Structure 1
């Protein structure tokens, strides 16, 4: 668990949000590393700034585009789970220049999307959390990047029991994609700050 004092020190390292500007902060890390919890804690600690939080998993594609595509499962997870180019054009490129974003938000219950409007104040800290944020298509759009590092055993223990029972899916889909990301992108070395969780 991240201590409040650690988070306060972290916040001192983030670029200052000046009047009329936006700062984009990435919280990168593998599944169940603690990214969402850190974002929640940052939100609670920052009281003097407007904050906009985006979770990259809200923008995945429908199942038919990421399962049973004929590709290996890890490839589907890393390359097809999100429409990387669409998000680059409609989310990342517009973060600093737009007052609002029109984003297709995924509904897991019925495997559909709805178009949602996200308001972006002129002066705000934009927190984006998710896996694989430092992929080459997106990495240049962040002002500051944090990588939350947590070992595989600990992350796996945080999964629900019924999820843990499907070990093959982790071995063929999630863990292989994570290994690919760690080997080809080197997110720990590329991040501005590393948090061990």
Structure 2
């Protein structure tokens, strides 16, 4: 995967001259997006680029808004896990020009959101990583999108054993939502670069 990162780094350096560059790292759950983003961040810093990372999982909503809502489980995961429109208005539309954005950050232990302000360097690479990143509400805001293509079995085996034991949750919630995303948004076809993992 290092060769892919080096290729991506060269692409970013060639495209990012004197403005903000918005990079999306897409992929399904446990495909390695966060690790990839952090590794790429280090490479960019070594290349004298300022970097700002947003992890979409930091911005999920409270459990009562995404569980036991009366909707199908896959729908809750795909459509209710995040406030899609709020993030569009307060992250995606602002991140290219604003010097700061204020967003709700989710605390899983307390099951509460707390607002924090993130300051963004004037000329930097903004990395946004998360699942379902190329949904139609957000796709237009990216300059470049990488999709980490990782088999379901590999991703499932990366889960803790206690989580894997509840396979029905994967079948009804996660995998159905993933299938919906793959079929409706066609993220592999829309991505600028696909990296196998």
Give 1:43's aligned residue: 41
Give 1:27's aligned residue: 25
Q: Report the CA distance between 1:10 and its aligned residue.
A: 1.6
Mapped contact 2:101–2:119 kept (Cα < 8 A): yes
Give 1:78's aligned residue: 78
Question: What is the rounded CA distance, in whole Å, between the counterparts of 2:62 and 2:73 in structure 1?
Answer: 15
Normalising by structure 2, report the TM-score. Answer: 0.96
Structure 1 runs not aligned, ≥5 long:
none
Matches within 5 A, 1:1-197: 2-3=1-2, 5-14=3-12, 16-19=15-18, 21-46=19-44, 47=46, 48-197=48-197
Question: What is the rounded CA distance, in whole Å, between the counterparts of 1:58 and 1:170 in structure 2?
Answer: 21
RMSD over aligned CA atoms reads 0.9
* Number of residue equivalences: 194
Question: What is the rounded CA distance, in whole Å, between the counterparts of 2:107 and 2:22 in structure 1?
Answer: 25
Residue 15 of structure 2 aligns to a residue in which SS? coil
Residue 195 of structure 2 aligns to a residue in which SS? strand
Question: What is the rounded CA distance, in whole Å, between the counterparts of 2:85 and 2:39 in structure 1?
Answer: 30
| Per-residue Cα deviation, 1:126-176 (whole angstroms, up to 9, x for no partner) | 001000000000000000000000000010011111110110100000000
Question: What is the rounded CA distance, in whole Å, between the counterparts of 2:152 and 2:129 in structure 1?
Answer: 19
Question: What is the rounded CA distance, in whole Å, between the counterparts of 2:61 and 2:11 in structure 1?
Answer: 34
Q: Report the CA distance between 1:18 and its aligned residue.
A: 2.2
Structure 2 runs not aligned, ≥5 long:
none
Mapped contact 2:20–2:125 kept (Cα < 8 A): yes
Q: Report the CA distance between 1:26 and its aligned residue.
A: 0.2
